[in-house]
Amino acid sequence: MRRISTIITIVFSLFFYSTCFAQDDKSLEREADTYFNNYEFGKALALYKGLFARTEDSTARFVLEGKMVLCENGTSLLDFVFEPSFEAIREFPLKNFFLHYPGFGDSTWIKSPFKFEKAAGASGGREMYYPSNSGNLYFSLMDGSGKYHIYTSHRISDSLWSAPSILNGNITSSGNEIFPVLGNNGKTLYFSSDGHYGIGGYDLYRSDWDPSINDWGVAQNMGIPYSSTGNDYLYYNTPDGLYTVFASDRDAGKGNVKIYVTDFVEVPLRKKATPKQASAISRPVVSTGKNKSGEKSDGDSLKINVNGNDGIYFATYKKVKALRLKIAESSSGLKKSRVLYNTLKDTSDLMALGKEISTRESKVLELQDSLGKAMEELQKVETDFLSKGIIVPETEDVRSRDDNPAASASGFGGYADSVAFSFADNVFGVIPSYIRVEEYVPPVDLSFRITETTELLSEKDFPGSLSYQVYLFSLAKKASSKAFKGLNPVFERKISSVKYSYAAGVFGTYEEASAHLPEVRKLGFRNARVIAYDGGKYISIYKAKILEKKAAENSKYRVNISGYPNGLPQAVLDAIGAVTDKDIAKTLVEGKVVFVIGVFGSETDAEACADAVKAVSDKIVKVEKIE
């Protein structure tokens, strides 16, 4: 009896201590989460690592591992923080906050049409920006796994759109991509994602159109304060060039987001920030330069001594800002005059107003020309500072409004009240009934493979670029699919009124096609040989090799480095700098940080860069050809 009592006591004690231990772990995780939300990523990481080492629960370890990655990302992003001037902040419901962005226009947000969803083979959609005059649309649709990704469709005619196609791997991640908006220049795509390199929830990203690959480039995190430890949505620059607008639930009530409005800055100059500074910048009040209590707080502001050079930068910055405001004000007046012109009937009034409109148009053109020159001046100053390692701070002088009437009247340093920011109150649009979408045609699988059955393809499915195939045989009548012993893909061509030719595979190089010859011959096709096509027409192997060599000379390459979640060490950076001045981009591939160097015009240059890195690194370094 005493033995049973002892066993019960031991079991109870083990249960008691395990319960206390579990409660202690939950308390530590909450403490780590608090550190993380306050941008103290180092402290949070230490606690997460301790918890990770203590638990054997696979689910808990998976969650903690994800949080540790976010801490490492956050630590890196603290080196690149921007401090914009916040002009307005207001809270709205998450379900329709985008209707309060100025510049989109009334009824331009609609639910993604079912026709787009069906044509893309998607299982659902969400709200999308649908400007009536757009030639290209970008929107999010849900795939079969429940993830949202960005698709694009181009206008074929007034009512007909192309079948939606998903964006490339630089933008499409293993997570979600939502709220895509094309920038005013038409060459930058902004979007929210929870699948790329970031610091938790949805972060804000940009991707620039890369003409060298004729596609979107690597997604770049917009950084703190646009991205935060909360969920951040819909980065947008207003068409007048005055403001940047984005939304976040970082300090909003349940089911709401706050819309943050900042001064637009063409090229934000970023600097290293402490966790306290990053937290303060990410939780702003409109009276910039003050903390939440309204008192001046130098500890929360990023100030760096640039040895007097800041005066040049700030003077140029104020000139650009003033010109933007004047253009917005003049354009607004010009628009009103044009509306009035259409209502007048008296000839003399029409002539007088017409002359005034002409004068206003000339003034706007002059201002735009001045803005272009001022922008060039600003970019030269920024380039000069960056080349010297100088990081320019945003001081209160630039960020605060100038109450001096004389300065305002002079056009430099003043802010016109007539163009002050105001939130919109737009109405959700109705899906146009006349929309038509091309039928979705699944892409043909052209990868070489051997399966149980063979599906014969026609010439229309064959690529128009230089391609090689393995010739099989010709017959005076059509062959049965069983004759090909599971080879895929096999193309059937009618080469005369009574003869058909058959060839397998689609290969980009002669070497690749030749490598598969033994495999094909082993199946019984003893007369198999390599043939070539260009533009759908048969050409000799000799000519194909010449074209292949020329294409290789025009190919683009980049170097991928993985294994450095906390950033590239100085030794690697020095090795890269010694052999190339190409850009270094940071991205997340399948949950892992990857650094991308390029683009290189030749494989030799890319290999030289990769070899230089391999000489000082034991991590994974690969050269990738960009198609």
Task: Give the start-to-end residue ranges of the domains of the chain.
Answer: 2-77, 86-287, 310-391, 449-552, 555-626
- pLDDT higher than 60, residue 49: yes
Tell me how far apart the alpha carbons of residues 336 and 353 are, in angstroms, rounded to a whole number.
11
pLDDT band, very low/low/confident/very high, at 31 (cuts 50, 70, 90):
very high
Determine which of 1-5, 583-587, 610-614 has the lowest per-residue pLDDT on average.
1-5
pLDDT band, very low/low/confident/very high, at 384 (cuts 50, 70, 90):
low
The structure tokens listed for 114 are: 């079912």
- pLDDT higher than 60, residue 114: yes
Residue 111 or 313, more confident: 111
The structure tokens listed for 443 are: 């892409």
603-614 and 570-579 helices cross at what angle (nearest 10)?
A: 150
Q: pLDDT (tens digit, 9 = 90+) per residue, 456-467?
A: 998 888 988 899
* DSSP assigned state of 451: -
HSE-CB of 442 using CA atoms within 13 angstroms = 5
Q: Are the CB atoms for 520 and 458 separated by under 8 Å? A: no
The structure tokens listed for 74 are: 């956050």
The structure tokens listed for 320 are: 């650009």
What is the predicted pLDDT for the residue at 602? 78
What is the predicted pLDDT for the residue at 203? 95
Determine which of 227-236, 263-272, 275-284 has the lowest per-residue pLDDT on average.
263-272
Amino acid at position 463, single letter: P
Phi, psi of 129 (to 5 degrees): -85, 120
Tell me how far apart the alpha carbons of residues 324 and 263 are, in angstroms, rounded to a whole number.
11
Strongest mean pLDDT among 153-167, 307-321, 342-356, 581-595? 153-167
Tell me how far apart the alpha carbons of residues 197 and 594 are, in angstroms, rounded to a whole number.
9
* 20-36 mean pLDDT: 81
Strongest mean pLDDT among 69-73, 79-83, 189-193, 422-426? 189-193
* 83-87 mean pLDDT: 88
Tell me how far apart the alpha carbons of residues 280 and 231 are, in angstroms, rounded to a whole number.
17
- pLDDT higher than 90, residue 36: yes
* 483-511 mean pLDDT: 93
- pLDDT higher than 90, residue 132: no
Helix or strand (DSSP H, E) at 543 = helix 541-553
CATH match of 555-626 with 3.30.70.260:
yes
Tell me how far apart the alpha carbons of residues 69 and 76 are, in angstroms, rounded to a whole number.
11
Residue 105 Rama label (left phi>0; alpha psi -120 to 50; beta): left
The three-class DSSP label of residue 584 is strand
The DSSP bridge partners found for residue 89 are 260
Q: Which CATH number fits domain 310-391: 3.20.20, 1.10.1060, 1.20.58, 1.25.40?
A: 1.20.58
- pLDDT higher than 70, residue 148: yes
The DSSP bridge partners found for residue 182 are 189
Average pLDDT, the chain: 81
Tell me how far apart the alpha carbons of residues 45 and 312 are, in angstroms, rounded to a whole number.
41
Strongest mean pLDDT among 195-204, 281-290, 335-344? 195-204
Q: How many residues does the chain have?
A: 627
Residue 143 or 192, more confident: 192
pLDDT band, very low/low/confident/very high, at 472 (cuts 50, 70, 90):
very high
pLDDT band, very low/low/confident/very high, at 335 (cuts 50, 70, 90):
confident
Angle at Cα 596 formed by Cα 593 and Cα 599, nearest 5°?
Answer: 165
b/e string for 565-575 if b means 16 or more Cβ within 10 A?
bebbeeebeeb
- Percentage of the chain modeled with pLDDT above 70: 83
Give the count of beta carbons closer than 10 Å to the beta carbon of residue 172: 20
Do 310-391 and 555-626 have matching folds? no
Phi, psi of 436 (to 5 degrees): -125, 145
Longest dimension (CA), the chain: 116
* 232-246 mean pLDDT: 91
What is the predicted pLDDT for the residue at 392? 47
Give the count of beta carbons closer than 10 Å to the beta carbon of residue 195: 22
Which runs of consecutive H residues, i.e. helices, occur in 388-516? 396-399, 405-410, 510-515
- pLDDT higher than 80, residue 614: yes
Residue 22 or 280, more confident: 280
Q: Is 482 exposed, middle or buried (0-12, 13-18, 19+ CB in 10 A)?
A: exposed
Q: Which residue has the tokens 């040895």?
A: 307
| Residue in 427, 426, 430 with CA at minimum distance from that of residue 113 | 430
What is the predicted pLDDT for the residue at 391? 47
What is the predicted pLDDT for the residue at 200? 81
* 502-516 mean pLDDT: 94
